Structure 1
């Protein structure tokens, strides 16, 4: 119960911090993130990169998407699984992809099963988060969608997606209270820093 209370408090505080960033600060952050993301993600033709569309003050990945497309990489966005309702599917995303709002009023691609990429076949996944620590621990919004989806990646898979958290620097905390189901990240990228962690 204490763990839940701590996580609720952190979420409330961090969501307030990032939502209070000005448009100028958000734009500057997006451009700086693009530079740092390009230091970690080595894009080749047909490199598969999962991402997200910003919501609730999350950092904007638009400049990073433009950069990836310019290098012939392929981007994918999460869709809430239409049957399980608790996992994510990743669907190919382009600038003109048809979109719709999901149950959280977040835009996602209109489901097209022929454009889905199995999560284990993505090369990189850029994930939003509410808070992080330097050990690669991530605190999300509380729905568990990313953790459940990442948990489906087979342990014996030789080449796994590289998991990258994306955040504003103000979202860092000294140590996150961790739950057993939390999946740690390989990198965390902010406009100011690149954290390389070990799983």
Structure 2
């Protein structure tokens, strides 16, 4: 049996459900044409067909066991809010990465991202018994770095010329981690940010 299996995680603001083709239209409505794709590895999403291809690619990674992708559903509106996933899953080393995260503009700077991180990290540390969770971001994405640091993740360093993006840009990636001994404090930080 795989170490990580598809699961639905629910909080007060969001539900994380396994990514499926049924989510393509909702993801396209909030994701097509957005600038945040410039920081990501997939290229720009300009059409619903681009989004379909992205969803199928990410679902394919899930089938290989390297990723576990989720669609984020905003409970208050019932709308698709974005996507996130576990990736770089390493069962032997009890580690994984939280990433591939993006949200529609209506859901940025709301409790959505904080609660998504809370649900994903709680599941990783308390159910899967991870000893390390990493998060990485483009060095140009200062807003993302501040958000990661705010929850208490530790900056480990920068991998220079880490990836070549579809635009041809050489991406430097800033790596962060949370280890099992730090989880209790990070959990308190997230709960405080969520208001209890």
- The two structures have a TM-score, normalised by structure 2, of 0.32
Higher relative contact order (CA 8 A, sep 6+): 1
* Higher-helix-fraction structure: 2
